[in-house]
A and B are shown apart, each in its own frame.
Chain A
Amino acid sequence: MKLEKVVVIGAGTMGSGIAQWFAQTGCIVTLVDSSETQLQKALAGIHDSWDKLTSRGKLTGLEALKQRLSISTLDGVDPGPDLVVEAIIEDLDIKKTLFLRLTELFSSDAILASNTSSFPIAQMAEALPSPRRGRFLGLHFFNPATVMKLVEVIKGPETDEGLCHDLYRWFDERDKKPALCKDSPGFIVNRVARNFYGEPLRIVGEEADENQLREVDAVLREVGGFRMGPFELMDLIGIDINYSVTCSVWEAYGKEPRFAPHPLQRKLVEEKRYGRKSKRGFYTYD
């Protein structure tokens, strides 16, 4: 499979990370956004990261690397990329409108992919003309994209199966660990990981005190070997974000009890105790 030219749309945290990773693997990358300010900010951030890696001796060929990454608005972008990865805001209508536009801008050979974590690939595919759906799929990266190895390769209902396997192999031959999965709510990780939060919440209950939270975190770190316990991790992610993902998966599975949010999550969100970012969550931060 030839993936030489890649366009990444959306210069936020995920889009920047994805663009940086593709450039580091040797691809010619264009990072696209509607905001020139955001593009400049993202480019400066990536360059800064590469400068630091170079000064620490972890990266070589800095100048060539910088030349492989450019920024552009959608109107000015090269129409012949091999792969286009969308990493914009999680809004289904906006994504559908964008993908329809992408089919007009880019050649029919281009693979179109969404980095969505929450919307079915099938729903986005509906926006595409039928002949383009075979080369449309989900490529779900994890943050930070340059560090986290996983890419979920998500086959939509009309995605060419061979294309999914080719992409799987392409990532596997590089610095990624791909996982092939069906188009279903939460894909693999956001579904299977729900109980890492939901079960500890049920162990401590609604009236949990801080000692209990610390004990559960310690057990899952020290006995389980996890890098962080569930409560400290929810505080880091943002309890509001974690709660929102939980609700979204729960709704998508028809309120299946295995995914039900816990009342304590809702209570903390209502009290604006979001975790580290609000200085209070399960724990209190100075």
Chain B
Amino acid sequence: MNTEKLYQQLQKINEAKGYYFNRDMDKTMFLLESLVKNRERYGYMCCPCRLAQEDAKADRDIICPCAYREADVREFGACYCQLYVSKQWNEGPIPEVYVPERRPEEPSSRITRLSSDR
């Protein structure tokens, strides 16, 4: 799927939920290309700003839109990778701030599993 089609498809779904694409179109299109790239190499749209474990189950909380989007957009006006933002964020009154990683640290028992470990 090309990114233009992905853009239109996701825009409709997510704006209805109150999440808007970042007004910086270069960033938005780069992020959409990155999602397509991650789907091609991992089989799922892992968040472009997080390191995939190459395991959809282990990464289910960071498959875009990630499980942390709602809390991040509510607190910072933008999700972790700044693909999705609030209407107000896009219209400017909210300063663009660094969004810290909300995902809890991995439990020590769950080490990073790589394709060669399967």
**A complexed with B:** no
A residues within 8 Å of B by Cβ? none
